[in-house]
């Protein structure tokens, strides 16, 4: 098992989010086990403060333990970053010098088989980051019709055998519900042609990724959250996002480029191309291999006009 809870691209996250000791207020929208949060707090020093958000109660407990030494510099709140603006308002937090995201699946989820995220272990088919959420992977696999299931697997997993996998899933669940990750892996193995199984990643990898994204509505949450994050930044504040999936990275790239263009841009791009982990970091932490970091800076709002435009009517 890999060393758990190793923050990916931690040096780059800190370099972009806290470019100087002047940064004093950071929102970590995906605090997880607190790895990036701890690095950010160390960079800010004793005057810094951090609002850590996560929808996973297990993550918040781990973060509380890891960040306990920082005392009242840290405030941890349960929530989905899709409601970032509301969370900030309810917390009385105010404008921030940086908003940081670390999207995707954490080692904490993979290394806890009982959560049902991993195709490497047999466990209940769950995959919910928020364990109180109504929709689980069991529900998706056993209730979506074949066309809907194929669309999810193709769109979110970029799986070439999506239609065939969906067909096999529907046939298998007619005999009995697919209740565990192990049962689902066997169905996927049967669906993927043997020649395709012999090359590339694990045959279930893309389907499991697709189900996780669907269960947790991750791409929808990102799309909703990014404009809220930009609005929470002070002028000069930094927006930093770590993505691991092409769909996540496309959303971040598109948002930042749109906000940095036009006659009244709101952001300035700090990364024309995404930063990637070094070979050394990937060797230490193989889960970092897919990481892409993008960052942008909030521009000052244009000054308000002194008076109403135009003259009075004659």
Where does the pLDDT of residue 310 fall: very low under 50, low under 70, confident under 90, or very high at 90 and above? very low
Those residues with Cβ within 8 angstroms of residue 164's Cβ, 6 or more apart along the chain or in another chain: 191, 192
- Tally helices (H) and strands (E) across the chain: 14, 7
pTM beyond 0.85: yes
Say which DSSP state 9 is in: T
User: Cα(186)–Cα(171) distance, rounded to whole angstroms?
Assistant: 13
Assign domain 10-108+218-298 to a CATH class.
Answer: alpha beta
Given a cut of 50, is residue 4 above it in pLDDT?
no
DSSP 3-state of 103: coil
Nearest to 97 by CA among 228, 235, 241, 265: 235
Nearest to 271 by CA among 5, 9, 3, 7: 9
The per-residue pLDDT for range 216-265, each reduced to its tens digit, is 999 999 999 999 999 999 999 999 999 998 999 999 999 999 999 999 99
The domains of the chain are located at 10-108+218-298, 113-216
Assign domain 113-216 to a CATH class.
Answer: mainly alpha
DSSP states along 212-250: HHHHHTHHHHHHHHHHHHHHHEEEEEEEEEEE-SHHHHH
């Amino acid at each position: 098992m890999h060393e758990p809870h190793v923050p990916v691209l931690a040096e780059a996250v800190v370099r972009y989010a806290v470019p100087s000791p002047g940064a004093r207020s950071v929102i970590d929208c995906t605090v997880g086990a607190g790895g990036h949060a701890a690095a950010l707090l160390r960079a800010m020093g004793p005057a810094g403060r951090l609002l850590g958000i996560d929808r996973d109660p297990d993550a918040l407990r781990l973060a509380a333990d890891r960040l306990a030494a920082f005392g009242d510099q840290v405030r941890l709140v349960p929530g989905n970053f899709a409601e970032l603006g509301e969370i900030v308002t309810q917390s009385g937090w105010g404008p921030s010098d940086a908003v940081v995201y670390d999207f995707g699946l954490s080692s904490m989820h993979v290394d806890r088989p009982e959560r049902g995220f991993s195709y490497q272990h047999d466990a209940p088919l769950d995959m919910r980051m928020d364990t109180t959420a109504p929709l689980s992977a069991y529900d998706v696999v056993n209730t979506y019709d074949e066309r809907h299931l194929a669309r999810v697997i193709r769109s979110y997993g970029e799986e070439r055998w999506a239609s065939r996998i969906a067909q096999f899933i529907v046939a298998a669940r007619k005999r009995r519900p697919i209740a565990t990750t192990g049962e689902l892996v066997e169905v996927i193995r049967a669906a993927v042609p043997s020649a395709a199984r012999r090359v590339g990643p694990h045959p279930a990898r893309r389907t499991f990724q697709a189900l996780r994204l669907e269960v947790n509505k991750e791409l929808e949450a990102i799309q909703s959250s990014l404009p809220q994050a930009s609005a929470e930044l002070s002028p000069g504040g930094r927006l930093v996002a770590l993505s691991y999936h092409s769909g996540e990275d496309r959303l971040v790239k598109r948002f930042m480029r749109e906000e940095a263009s036009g006659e009244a841009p709101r952001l300035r791009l700090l990364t024309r191309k995404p930063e990637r982990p070094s070979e050394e970091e990937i060797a230490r932490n193989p889960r970092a291999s897919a990481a892409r970091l993008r960052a942008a800076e909030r521009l000052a709002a244009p000054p308000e006009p002194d008076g109403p435009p135009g003259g009075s009517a004659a």
